[in-house]
Amino acid sequence: MPSPHVITPSQLARRIGLPDAPVLIDVRIPDDVAADRRSLPASRRASHRDVVDWAEAWRGREVVVVCQKGLKLSHGVAAWLRHHGAEAETLEGGFEAWAEAGLPLVSPAQLPPRDAKGRTLWVTRARPKVDRIACPWLIRRFVDPEAVFLFVAPSEVLLVADRFGGTPFDVEGVFWSHRGPLCTFDVMIEEFGLKLPALDHLARIVRGADTADHALAPEAAGLLAASLGLSRMFRDDLAQLEAGMTLYDAFFRWCRDAVQETHNWPAGRTA
């Protein structure tokens, strides 16, 4: 009889990128990580050896534990997490099953270093509109849920990034910025290896809104209008980012699940 605390790769894939996605904890041993350094989207690395020290931090949270094959390490860690009050499951077949299914894996090649608390730190220009909200959404949903974003004066972005150990983005002359016709959102999807049809569709909308090329996607004009409206509703950039997270959650779900759905009410109305 299968364990009641197991989730399949296909079931977990449906929850990746959503605001209520479970916490993903990767407990693969160093040798397995060295053989394939990619990781499940938004997952965190931890060791099974000191699980009793960190399990309490996830009390009351929904967690999925990932090891190489979905066997003893993930089952043991999940059991410890449940002992500490978490709602913990294991990924059936582990990392190997996820990779064999062709599901998205994040490349660490360009992942910025983490701070003492395990977070990536990003710095960009204040008063964001499109790309500077879209990119934080992508990072928090698919790369690092705990990522920190600093919005500063344009002239200070590089200096702040250097002084505080952050990674600058969406400014001229840095790695994480526009490349030819691509906007920073496109670049992040490519560099992190996030090949998902829904993200590709969303990227066209973001690019159209960010570069004023609304012919790329009919939704681009709407995203730009909503983005400019948000920028005028909030004086605080972090408050605007939190509101923008919901906006991009909605666009992502539309791209993934609702592009064929139409709305016509009242039905049958004649001119």
pLDDT in tens, 42-77: 999 999 999 999 999 999 999 999 999 999 999 999
Tell me: pLDDT of 94 over 90: yes
Range scoring the smallest mean pLDDT among 1-10, 71-80, 118-127, 171-180: 1-10
pLDDT the model gives residue 3: 72
- Rounded CA-CA distance 82/91 in Å is 15
- Rounded CA-CA distance 23/18 in Å is 11
SS3 call for 109:
coil
Question: Are 33 and 84 found together in one domain?
Answer: yes
Question: Are 253 and 137 found together in one domain?
Answer: yes
- Rounded CA-CA distance 254/252 in Å is 5
Question: Are 85 and 144 found together in one domain?
Answer: no
SS3 call for 119:
coil
Contacts of 28-33 with C-beta under 8 Å, sequence gap 24+, read 28/66, 28/67, 28/68, 28/73, 28/94, 28/95, 29/68, 29/73, 32/68, 32/95
Tell me: pLDDT of 254 over 50: yes
In sequence order, the 6+-apart residues with CB closer than 8 A to the CB of 269 are none
For residues 116-133, average pLDDT: 96
Question: Are 241 and 135 found together in one domain?
Answer: yes
Widest pairwise Cα distance in the chain? 70
For residues 151-156, average pLDDT: 98
* Residue 39 CB neighbour total at 10 angstroms: 22
Helix 237-253 × helix 220-233 angle, to 10°: 160
Tell me the whole-structure pTM to 2 decimals. Answer: 0.94
* Residue 260 CB neighbour total at 10 angstroms: 5
CA 149-155-161 angle, 5° bins: 40
User: How would residue 271 be classed by pLDDT, with cut points 50, 70 and 90?
Assistant: low
pLDDT the model gives residue 268: 67
SS3 call for 148:
strand
User: How would residue 238 be classed by pLDDT, with cut points 50, 70 and 90?
Assistant: very high
For residues 198-207, average pLDDT: 98
Q: Is residue 271 in a domain?
A: no
Q: Is residue 264 in a domain?
A: no
Q: What is the span of the domain harbouring residue 140?
A: 121-258
Q: Is residue 48 in a domain?
A: yes
Q: Is residue 222 in a domain?
A: yes
- Residue 247 token pair: 């906006």
**What do you get for the CA distance between the two ends of the chain, in Å?**
60
Q: Is residue 198 in a domain?
A: yes
- Residue 271 token pair: 């001119």
For residues 137-141, average pLDDT: 98
Q: What is the CATH number of the domain that holds 96?
A: 3.40.250.10
Tell me what the pLDDT averaged over the chain comes to: 96
**Per-residue model confidence as pLDDT tens digits over 1-21:** 457 899 999 999 999 999 999
DSSP string, 8-69: -HHHHHTTTTSTTPPEEEE---HHHHHH---B-TTEEE--GGGHHHHGGGGTT-EEEEE-SS
Task: Give φ, ψ of 165 to 5 degrees.
Answer: 70, 30
pLDDT the model gives residue 269: 63
- Rounded CA-CA distance 67/54 in Å is 17
Domain tally, the chain: 2
Rg (CA), the chain: 20
Question: Are 248 and 133 found together in one domain?
Answer: yes
